[in-house]
């Protein structure tokens, strides 16, 4: 099977390390998009799991920030501002005038930029996390391999949140 019944590409079971890591990250990116599919702006803003204020739209914004941080700032060394300035800078806070289409397009653009930045890079190449991140990581440098694994777990964790939120909104489960 090359795709799941919902159309996501299944990571190849016998690929090299880089292809495996990138494929799993893309699988989880596609899962997030699938969790948002078919919902309107109002539904994407619902926080149905009390007492949490987490929303699907907030998750997309957060993962936009995460993409930007790990691939642009850390790996490529770019000095770029946060995408969403509201709240703590983690992207979860919603702005009433920012619609779902804009948020999803911005996320897709960051994903595309992430792919461009790592194209042709060896898994051993390093990036430099911020001082705070370095304290958490325990080193002033992280390999692309480490970043890809971290991004897979970041998406996987938040896709679990997205699954619960989506089920509360309209009963859709799976993926």
Q: What is the pLDDT of residues 23-58, one digit of tens each?
A: 999 999 999 999 999 999 999 999 998 899 999 999
pLDDT for residue 88 is more than 90: no
Q: What is the 3-state secondary structure (H, E, C) of 43-96?
A: HHCCCCCCCCCCCHHHHHHHHHHHHHHHHHHHHCCCCCCCCCCCCCCCCCCCCC
Tens of pLDDT, residue by residue over 101-136, are: 999 999 999 999 999 999 999 999 999 998 888 888
Tens of pLDDT, residue by residue over 55-80, are: 999 999 999 999 999 999 999 999 99
Tens of pLDDT, residue by residue over 136-172, are: 888 889 999 999 999 999 999 999 999 999 999 999 9
pLDDT at position 134? 86
Say how many residues make up the chain.
Answer: 175
Mean pLDDT of 83-95: 82
pLDDT at position 104? 98
pLDDT for residue 86 is more than 80: no
Whole-structure pTM over 0.85, yes or no? yes
pLDDT at position 133? 87
pLDDT at position 161? 96
CA distance 142 to 146: 6
pLDDT for residue 87 is more than 70: no
């Amino acid at each position: 099977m090359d795709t799941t019944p919902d159309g996501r590409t299944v990571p190849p079971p016998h690929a090299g390390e880089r292809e495996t890591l990138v494929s799993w990250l893309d699988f989880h990116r596609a899962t997030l998009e699938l969790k948002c599919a078919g919902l309107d702006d109002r539904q994407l803003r619902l926080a149905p799991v009390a007492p949490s204020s987490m929303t699907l739209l907030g998750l997309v914004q957060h993962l936009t920030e995460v993409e930007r941080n790990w691939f642009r700032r850390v790996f490529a060394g770019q000095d770029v501002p946060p995408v969403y300035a509201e709240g703590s800078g983690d992207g979860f806070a919603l702005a009433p005038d920012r619609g779902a289409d804009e948020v999803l397009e911005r996320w897709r653009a960051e994903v595309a930029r992430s792919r461009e930045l790592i194209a042709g890079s060896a898994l051993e190449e390093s990036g430099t996390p911020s001082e705070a991140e370095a304290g958490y990581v325990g080193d002033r440098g992280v390999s692309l391999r480490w970043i890809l694994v971290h991004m897979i777990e970041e998406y996987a964790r938040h896709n679990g949140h997205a699954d619960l939120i989506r089920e509360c909104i309209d009963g859709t489960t799976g993926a």
